[in-house]
Structures are given as structure tokens and as C-alpha cells.
Amino acid sequence: MEPAAAEMDALLRAAADFASYPGVHCDDTVRQFLEQFPLPKLLGVLQSQADVPGVDETLAACLDKVFSSRYGASLLPNYGEFIQAGLLTNSKIIRQLACKAVLNLLDKAGDSAVALDTFVQHNLYPLLINCLIEGDEEVSAIVLDVLKRLAEIPKGTDIIFPPDGQGSLQLNKVAAQSSSMARIRILSLIAKLFAVSSSTATAIRDSNLLSLFEDEIKDRKDMLKTLSALEVLYELAEHPNSNIFLLKNSLLQHITDVINDSTADSVIRSRASLISGRLLSSADAFMTIDQSCVTNLLLAIDKILGIEESQNTDEIESALEALGLIGATTQGACFLFTDSSNVAKHVVQLSFNRQGRGKQLAALHAFGSICGVDRQEDQMKLGDQAEERLKRLVYTVASDSPKLTPSALLLSVLQQDPDIRIAGYRVISRLVVREWCLREVCSKSEIIRVVTDPKMETTKLGMEARYNCCVAINKALSSSHLLNESSLSELIGKLNDAVRRGPYLSDRKRMEAQPVVDTAERF
């Protein structure tokens, strides 16, 4: 074997061994490896021998291990030209290595100012954007992480959104000239950056980048493209303060248009409903947006929930989940009961309609949220008008059913399968803070028997839900004048005993293990 060939063979064997190590090498190991095989030599071989089968894979894996260490990352500012060339290459393997190297530069190089200087000096931002829109899924995923990390570094946001505004214009321009897949990746980038900080979210809003979501949602000719945009928006709406930024434009109206579009696929309409629920799930939302927009949205959801008009279970369940999110706040719940739509009526009706288990379960959870499951104790009750409508709806639904009374309706829920019962416990535990419902519950001894029976539930979740319901009834009674009614003394005693027992099976005489003595068999 030629000396040069033997040397190359030794280098590749060493690189393969180095790359095969599980986990990250310690700095001393990396330093020793680079003393034997200097970094310029490794990079030179990678660039000159990349077309030799196996060389690029072996050296890329080796260099990735080098740059993943703090010592290796500290060397990256000296190799900005290599990173730049790697981002420009057509080789997927080398481009992926270069993207990872940038991430290590930002994460582990030590001095963020030096890392940012390398970023600017070698003009890496536009190259990364190009990798984002033209690379494969793996490369684009790494780029998303890189740019998110860049935005997390002080002054890193200025590279993406420079004071002169050129950065934001670039993203808009790139999106306008790109394929639908590339535009979705840019939307994913916006979602990633949005979650970094309120200042980054503000920069995105001020750059008018949120309008890109509107553009994608308005054009519903391509179902997959619209659904992809909605999925990214759904992720964006998870951000705690997203409604402050998203509701100050016409986005909610476009979402309402999607829900109203009877020609749209049910998956798209379902996702749009859930997004609307997330956007309106905070008290701030009702201070931010015009109430007429919310009314239009609820009217669109009302059409989905109309029993005659829609039999699509997925759409109905998503619409109910959205209403549960909206009704989780006092402001949202009040709006549902005082708005001109019939959405609150549909929630109550479907909560006690046994024609579709999935719909009933979704309705019960939404009803529980609207009644205050997710609110603080002092915020459970609504305004007088909303409380009166809630009471009237429950009594109307009961009188129109074979059960005739609210107590019979509630008992019917507790007589169904465990999941329905758990949702029923949640509803009852919040409804009983209302005097009229407390009286209804106390009038039905069978309800009290269920919520005080430690053997009723067999799962931890079920036991705790039953017990919490029992505690809620007992607490409501303790502050009610019903406490002094002699006819309820036995019921109050059962509730007190059940509360003392706790949520789990605690019948010691029945549950304690008894020793069993068995004599040995003799032959």
C-alpha cells in the first residue's frame, strides 16, 4: 500500500472509531484526537475526498463528534469559511454537518459575542434560510433549532430582525417566491421564534409576518397546504400570550371563514375550531378583539353543533372542545351564555344526549369548563344574566327529556361508563356552587350514594374525581341554609363520612390482608 494511501486508511479508521463513541467525548479526548489528526487536515480530506464512497459519511460523523464538545465548538469561530462552504454545498451530509456546527457554535463556543460576530462576518443567516427552504426534512429541522437558538442570544434577534427592517422583508420576500412546502417551513420558523420571548413575538408582529398565516389560510384550493398552515398556527396559538399578538389582525375572521366553509374538509374545519378556542382561551382575548368577531365565530360553531345540520362527529367534538377552551375564563363563559348564538344550549343538550358517546363526553368536558372547573373558586359563578341563562337552559333541557328534572339528568350521567361518569363528576362539582343545583342534587339520594361509594370507581383518576365531587357537594352544603334542614341530616352524615375516608378504598376491616395458615401436606 502506498504511504499516502496507508496514511489515509489510518485516518479513516481513527475517524470511524472516534465517531462510533456513544455520547459526547470529553474535551481532553477531543484535544488528543486533534493533536494526532489536526482539524485543518480533517476538513481538507473531507473537501477533497468527498466523492470517494464512505469518506464523507465517516469524516462528517467524526467532525460532528468533535464540534459537539465544548473544546471543538470553541474552535469553530476560526472556521467560519468552512461553515459557509458547507452551507452552500449540494452534499446533504456536509450541509447537515455545517448546520449542526452552527448550532454548536451558538450553544457551546463560550463567547456569544464571538459567535454572533462569526455569524455576521460570514453572512450565515441568509445561507441558513436557504437551507431551511431547500434542504431535506433533517436539514430544515436543524436550521429551525439554530435560528431559535440565535434568537435566544442577546442581540441575536437583531440578525433576524435588524433595525433597518431588511430581515423581515427578506422573510416576506422569500415566502412570496417559494414553493408551498417552503412557505410552511417559514411559518414553522415564525412559530419557533414567536415562542422565544415577548420581544421576539413583538418583532414578528411589527414585521407583519403574521399576515403570512392569513395568506395561506385564505387560499383553500390546496387542502394539504391549508391544513399544514393551520397545524403550525395551532402550535403558535399554544404560546401563553399569542392572543395579544394574533387577535389584533384579521386572523380570527379568516378562521371563522374556514369554519363556515361547508366545502372545506372536515379535518380543516375541526382544526380551525380548535385554534379559535385557543385564541379565545384567556381573559385578555375579550379585551383585545371586537366582540362582533367573536359573535361571528360562535355563529359558525353554532352551525356545526346544530343536530340537524351536521352529523360529522369529529367536527362536533372539536367545536365542543373549542367552546370548553373559550368558556374556561369567566369572561368567555359569560359571553357564551349572553351571546345571540345557541352554542351554550347545544353544549347543555349534547351533555345529556346519549346518541353519540364521543359527542356526549366532549360536551360534558366543555360544560364542566364553562361551569368553572378551570377557574379559581371565587370566579366560578358568572354574572346574573349568564347565571340565569345557565339555570334556564338546564331546566329546559331536562323538561324536554324523558328525565324531566335536572337531578334525574345528572344521575343518568353517573350511571354510564367510567369516562362519562368522571366528566359528570366534574360538572356536578361545579354546578353545586349554585343553590338551585345543590338542591337538585340533594333531592336525589341515588346521586349521593354514587358520590359517597368508595367502591364505585376502580381507577385512581375515577376515585379522585368522585371524591372531589363529594367534597364539593359537602362544602356547598356547609355554606348553605340547606344545612339546617332536618330531612337532609342523614345525607349530610354520609357526605361527612365519605370526606373523612378520603378518595381511595379505606375500609380497613374489609381491605386489610388476613394471615392464612395452611398446614403442610404429609404423605
The mean pLDDT value for 433-446 works out to 89
The proportion of the chain whose per-residue pLDDT surpasses 90, expressed as a percent, equals 35
Q: Indicate the Cα dihedral angle 498, 503, 509, 511, nearest 10°.
A: 150
Q: How confident is the model at residue 518 (pLDDT cuts 50, 70, 90)?
A: low
pLDDT of residue 516: 53
The proportion of the chain whose per-residue pLDDT surpasses 70, expressed as a percent, equals 91
Residue 182 Cα to chain centre, angstroms: 23
pLDDT of residue 308: 45
Question: 57-74: string of b/e by CB count within 10 Å (b at 16+)?
Answer: ebbbbbbbbbbbbebbbb
Q: Which of 331, 305, 309, 328 is nearest to 317 (CA)?
A: 305
Q: Which of 103, 139, 102 is nearest to 122 (CA)?
A: 102
369 half-sphere exposure, CB direction, 13 A CA radius:
24
The domain ranges of the chain are 1-152, 388-504
Q: Are 328 and 309 in contact (CB under 8 A)?
A: no
pLDDT value at 304 more than 80: yes
pLDDT value at 297 more than 60: yes
The mean pLDDT value for 35-53 works out to 81
pLDDT of residue 161: 84
pLDDT value at 152 more than 50: yes
- Encode pLDDT of 229-247 as tens digits: 888 888 888 877 677 777 7
Q: How confident is the model at residue 3 (pLDDT cuts 50, 70, 90)?
A: very low
pLDDT value at 310 more than 70: no
- Encode pLDDT of 92-137 as tens digits: 999 999 999 999 999 876 678 888 888 889 989 999 999 999 888 9
pLDDT of residue 156: 85
pLDDT of residue 256: 92
Q: How confident is the model at residue 348 (pLDDT cuts 50, 70, 90)?
A: very high
pLDDT of residue 2: 43
Q: Can you tell me the distance from the alpha carbon of 441 to that of 448, in angstroms, rounded to the nearest whole number? A: 8
pLDDT of residue 1: 42
203 half-sphere exposure, CB direction, 13 A CA radius:
27
Decide which of 513 and 326 is more confident: 326
pLDDT of residue 101: 93
pLDDT value at 222 more than 80: no
pLDDT of residue 213: 85
Q: Are 407 and 443 in contact (CB under 8 A)?
A: yes
pLDDT value at 151 more than 50: yes
pLDDT of residue 177: 82
The mean pLDDT value for 305-315 works out to 69
pLDDT value at 51 more than 70: no
Q: Can you tell me the distance from the alpha carbon of 428 to that of 321, in angstroms, rounded to the nearest whole number? A: 19
How confident is the prediction for the chain on average, in pLDDT? 85
The mean pLDDT value for 78-100 works out to 91
CATH code of 1-152, in short, is 1.25.10.10
pLDDT value at 484 more than 80: no
pLDDT value at 462 more than 60: yes
pLDDT of residue 520: 58
The Cα-based distances of 80 to 67, 75, 98, 122, 253 in angstroms read 13, 10, 10, 6, 46
The mean pLDDT value for 214-237 works out to 83
pLDDT value at 507 more than 70: no
Q: How confident is the model at residue 427 (pLDDT cuts 50, 70, 90)?
A: very high
pLDDT of residue 322: 93
C-alpha cell at 334: 359569560
Query: Cβ of 356: how many Cβ atoms within 10 Å?
Result: 16
pLDDT of residue 461: 92
Q: How confident is the model at residue 4 (pLDDT cuts 50, 70, 90)?
A: low
